[in-house]
Structure 1
Amino acid sequence: MAVAHDVLVVGGGGAGLRAAIAVAEADPRLSVAIVSKVYPMRSHTVSAEGGAAAVAGGDDSLDEHAYDTVSGSDWLCDQDAVEAFVGEAPRELLRLEHQGCPWSRTPDGHIAVRAFGGMRKKRTWFAADKTGFHMLHTLFQTTLSYQDIVRYDEWFVTSLLVDNGRVGGVVAIELATGRIETIIAKAVIMCTGGCGRVYPFTTNANIKTGDGMALAYRAGAPLKDMEFPQYHPTGLPFTGILITEAARAEGGWLLNKDGYRYLQDYDLGRPEPGPVLRSMELGPRDRLSQAFVHEVAKGRTTDTPYGPIVHLDLRHLGADVIDAKLPFVRELCARYEHIDPVRELIPVRPVIHYMMGGIHTDLDGAAGLDGLYAAGEAACVNINGANRLGSNSLPELLVFGARAGRAAAAFAASAGDAESQAVHAQAKDERHRLEKWLSRQGEGPDRIADLRTEMQETMENGAGIYRDEGSLAKAANELQRLRERFSDAAIDDRSRVFNTELVATLELSFMLDVAESIVTCALRRAESRGAHQRTDFPARDDERFLAHSLAHREPDGTCRVAYLPVTITRWPPSERVYGR
């Protein structure tokens, strides 16, 4: 037996909820469902802090937002996608306000905007420093008004079903019971978020294991620009919890162990003279993270049990500003570091934050297989290129979640039945695979947690802020050995109810696929651009690499890389600047 829907959204975060709403609005006759491995309000969108970028009038313009995004991306974004994005972002944020999102306001009642890294104008809308929390609440409450949207909360998708190049649904496990179910769908939208957990230090929640990316990759859809994981320069050293860029937007300083604002010693991409001391903390995230590595090499950081750190200083802002605009930062510091940023320095270090790459899609989220769409961080449309500007990701999931939802609705309305013998045969094979994992004893000594830790260390050491051919080749070899050991690993938990060890096993298999695509693409890109910094190829090479990488999974499981030209509409490649 199987259940069936016209459109199935995999992932219950911001992109998934926005996509489901778009389907319901586009064609109320369609059956739409959301399957999520956590309750939607526990999706990672809830942890976004700083804000959402969109032109709010004044002296700002769509062209300026587009240019900042293009320049920040180191010219690797598709400019047609950027222009669509900046044009639709203000409407999406206003729509959220009408649905109840409590944007912070100025004393005269206008929407408040703050500065954010790499942007020349203040255009980041915010709700104190809990923007993602309020956005996700608003979207979730809105879905409740559509009674025909069905939710499968705490279900884990393990396989994407495809018959002759067309998606037919998924296989998923109900975590509460262990029941394995086939869910037939005419269209599937992947909105499963990023893959930060392939690295050891990350702001990402434990659920962000690249599931949707790997599902699409295994089904035949390519992954695009996977060599560009983004480090955020200010994460707490033990937990990886994010200290939002808003803390620097409000005037926070980054200090080395000597109390010196070290960013003034580095080229952050600002070629002309100006008030550098005022703006340098809002340089692009990749440049700030790279500066940290140089401070470590110079011996100007502080050693801790969790690696070297610098400090973020908010003390000069005062309690009133911090409590009004950064209350969550103060709460996080108290709970996880036992310090008060009103009076004490915050220890920080760069941590993996966001994946610029993802499932290759067009402007409407179509992912290369009939009926397959993707949006949010799981997708790569591509507006982020080699470096995402902070506060672009939240409006991105709204704009392209809506576009994917409308496109999937149109496809499902005109498509025939997705159910077929081949789809049911694949579902039967997947059921047997999952049952085998539960029953197997395993031949090797390895446990899933140990393999995961080794994978994360391999990625940090080989494909971190700086890479070279030697480190990447070593990482590729170690990942291959980990995959071989994984095939012999066993799990001890044989239960059906909330078997977290089985989930961790399936997640690790996804992460190994994603990690391999990151390393393979990084090995092929013999240049330095944005978040991809090759010490053996330190210059940007537009002649050879002004192109997107496309990682294809071969029948033998290996990764093949091809290239796709970048779409340039109005801004030819030039020197990268910020805050001009």
Structure 2
Amino acid sequence: MEVLSCDVVVVGSGLAGLRAAVAAAAASEKLSICVVTKVAGPRSHTISAEGGMAAVVHPEKTGDTPHLHAYDTVKGGDFLVDQDAAMLLAQEAPSEALFLYKIGVPWNKDSDGTFSLRLFGGMSKPRTLFVKDKTGFYILTALYKHAKSFSNIAFYEEHLVTKLVVKHNVFYGVTALDMRRGEFKFFKAKAGVIATGGGGRMFKLTTMGYLNTGEVYGFALREGIALKDMEFVQWHPTALVPSGILISEAARAEGAYLVNKYGERFMRRYAPQKMELAPRDVIARAIAMECMSGRGFTWRDGTCYVGLDVRHLDPARVKERLPLLLELSKTYAGVDPFTELIPVAPAVHYFMGGIHTDLYGRVLTVSGEWVRGLWAAGEAAAVSVHGANRLGSNSLAECAVWGRLAGEQAAEYAKGRGEGEADGAVKALVEREENRVFYKLGRKEVGGTSAAAIRSALQNAMHKGAGIIREESALAQALSEVAKLISAFKEVNLHDTGRIYNMELREMVELDGMLLAAHAVLLGAYFRRESRGAHYRVDHPQRDDKTWLKHTLVHKVGEGFGVYYAPVKVDKWPPEVRAY
């Protein structure tokens, strides 16, 4: 086992992770920053973000304000948003948008030289900056290049983290499997930032890439860290059928319609004021209702879908602003958007919940105690700025803002932390983890349960139990199935016993954390007997502020789980009827 020492270790290399690394590196050239990521190059899921980034950059042009941005965020999140977090997002996002512009992100501009702004769902004013419909690609490319320019940032790509090394609520680093060399490593660090994104691959249909397995949520549970509001999983209304590839909200921001098989713009029934620019949870449920009522189309594989219509839009404008939509539709669905409807259906897109943190991203236990030296940012964290439903384009803003905040704080903490704090007990933890990870490779058994079979069963259970529309019996059944899968996982055998690029071993490590995280999602959904944002219970269809205006906290208790609750920070806007 190789031991590498870092002042700050950042796990993940998307927008949140790279922003944290750059902020930490800029704090002092004497600090060493390690970026540990399971992808190679700028291929983290940020690259798939299409629509844009929310920020109040031209208030004189639009009449927008940070106060209004925060209010839209709180209302969009169905009032489960911590309102101090919403204000912090709105206040800090403009400077982050300008920072990205300075390092090479070519935001679209209007003829007057100001940044072009889109009106996304749930927004009162247009505030989404964008680069065509490939915003994430341009952001990640520019930020990766910028991070590479720092001599004190070292990248460890294709390294799969297997454990957060925590003892007595103090962070000491992470262990990782070097997929290229088949070697086990311990990244000993004074401070750490978790920025590993979401866990869409727990579900059967998702817009997320294959790397978004969410195992670090489970690893956090193992170390006494709480997960917050995991029941709130966003289904994006417009994933391309049958692939599940994202069709950006940018299309609807540019004027695209949603229609059923009768050609009706059915959003009139569900959000007559905002129509196709209602929040994502409202539109995803509307599509589900259209399908349940027999008004949807049916794909060849039986999938019910609706049509996204851009045929009435100016072709030149579509080519200029939505080139990826044209490319994806033709390549993966075989349709020409200028003459045909684009087939779309909801798919899992984003986790509003995540690792429990305070306002500034410090990682917390269920009792609110800080795990010293550890921060989380981006989709991996629950600050909580999105509440029960994230507004489109707030995610890139969140990643940039809290990535920077976490990186700056981690650097400051590392400056004051002494050397040699990883004692013999920590060394024993690391050695035990190496033995655990490689244990299966040395076994001679043949057959047994495969990780792939368990993963498929997990995805089916989550799809049935924790879908767009939920109810108690289905959730109970899914909980039972996942509990059985956790037990079955202990008997998983590997057929590939090599160490270099052992993808079966990688899948096993991922699945180990995914199962625990999925259990947390289901527990939160089972006990929350109301409907709020993305969590819709057909057996409890109303929002219940008297009983349920609170955050769910799940943590490990021995071999089981504990569920606790914490108050939502409401200091500006009391809950109101959420109408669109």
How far is 1:416 from its partner?
2.4
CA distance in 2 between counterparts of 1:28 and 1:554 reads 42
CA distance in 1 between counterparts of 2:541 and 2:579 reads 18
Q: Secondary structure at the match of 1:258?
A: coil
| Alignment counterpart, residue 410 of structure 1, candidates 403, 412, 428 | 412
Provide the residue aligned with 1:426 in structure 2.
Answer: 429
Q: What is the TM-score with the length of structure 2 in the denominator?
A: 0.96
CA contact (8 A) 1:442 1:489 kept: no
How far is 1:238 from its partner?
2.0
Deviations 1:268-315 (A, max 9, x none): 3x6xxxxx4xx4001110011111121112111122205111110111
Q: Secondary structure at the match of 1:551?
A: strand
CA contact (8 A) 1:467 1:533 kept: yes
CA distance in 1 between counterparts of 2:164 and 2:576 reads 41
**Following superposition of structure 1 onto structure 2, how do residues 105-254 of structure 1 map, counting pairs within 5 Å?**
105-254=109-258
Deviations 1:422-472 (A, max 9, x none): 111011001111111222345764222121111111111111111111111
CA distance in 2 between counterparts of 1:172 and 1:306 reads 41
CA contact (8 A) 1:66 1:86 kept: yes
How far is 1:27 from its partner?
2.5
Q: Secondary structure at the match of 2:297?
A: coil
How far is 1:234 from its partner?
0.3
How far is 1:36 from its partner?
0.3
| Alignment counterpart, residue 555 of structure 1, candidates 553, 558, 564 | 558
Provide the residue aligned with 1:542 in structure 2.
Answer: 545
**Following superposition of structure 1 onto structure 2, how do residues 378-393 of structure 1 map, counting pairs within 5 Å?**
378-393=380-395
Compute the RMSD of aligned alpha carbons. Answer: 1.2
**Letter paired with 1:15:** A
CA distance in 1 between counterparts of 2:462 and 2:113 reads 47
Bigger mean CA deviation after superposition, 208-217 or 187-196: 208-217
Change (3 A) 1:453 1:306: farther
Provide the residue aligned with 1:290 in structure 2.
Answer: 285
Provide the residue aligned with 2:439 in structure 1.
Answer: 436
| Alignment counterpart, residue 299 of structure 1, candidates 274, 294, 297 | 294
Provide the residue aligned with 2:99 in structure 1.
Answer: 95
**Letter paired with 1:325:** R
CA distance in 2 between counterparts of 1:116 and 1:358 reads 24
**Letter paired with 1:493:** D
CA contact (8 A) 2:556 2:562 kept: yes
CA distance in 2 between counterparts of 1:190 and 1:285 reads 27
Q: Secondary structure at the match of 1:42?
A: coil
Aligned residue pairs, count: 568
| Alignment counterpart, residue 62 of structure 1, candidates 60, 63, 66 | 66
Note the residue ranges of structure 1 that are not aligned, 5 or more in a row.
271-275
CA distance in 2 between counterparts of 1:577 and 1:571 reads 15
CA distance in 2 between counterparts of 1:86 and 1:39 reads 32
How far is 1:39 from its partner?
1.8
| Alignment counterpart, residue 476 of structure 2, candidates 467, 473, 476 | 473
CA distance in 1 between counterparts of 2:330 and 2:342 reads 10
Q: Secondary structure at the match of 1:371?
A: strand
Provide the residue aligned with 1:273 in structure 2.
Answer: none
Provide the residue aligned with 1:361 in structure 2.
Answer: 357
Provide the residue aligned with 1:17 in structure 2.
Answer: 18
How far is 1:75 from its partner?
0.3
Deviations 1:481-519 (A, max 9, x none): 111222112111111111111101111111111100000
**Letter paired with 2:488:** R
CA distance in 2 between counterparts of 1:442 and 1:545 reads 49
Change (3 A) 1:134 1:473: same
CA distance in 2 between counterparts of 1:550 and 1:423 reads 27
Provide the residue aligned with 1:85 in structure 2.
Answer: 89
How far is 1:555 from its partner?
1.8
How far is 1:577 from its partner?
3.3
Provide the residue aligned with 2:33 in structure 1.
Answer: 32
Instruction: Say yes or no: does 1:318 pair with 2:320.
Output: no
CA distance in 2 between counterparts of 1:61 and 1:379 reads 26
Provide the residue aligned with 1:484 in structure 2.
Answer: 487
CA distance in 2 between counterparts of 1:568 and 1:185 reads 36
Q: Secondary structure at the match of 2:97?
A: helix
**Letter paired with 1:533:** Y
**Letter paired with 1:292:** I
Deviations 1:250-271 (A, max 9, x none): 11111111111111112x3x6x
Note the residue ranges of structure 2 that are not aligned, 5 or more in a row.
365-370
How far is 1:409 from its partner?
1.0
After the TM superposition, which parts of structure 1 deviate over 4 Å for at least 4 consecutive aligned residues? 441-444
**Letter paired with 2:322:** L
Q: What is the TM-score with the length of structure 1 in the denominator?
A: 0.96
CA distance in 2 between counterparts of 1:446 and 1:380 reads 34
Q: Secondary structure at the match of 1:184?
A: strand
**Letter paired with 1:336:** Y
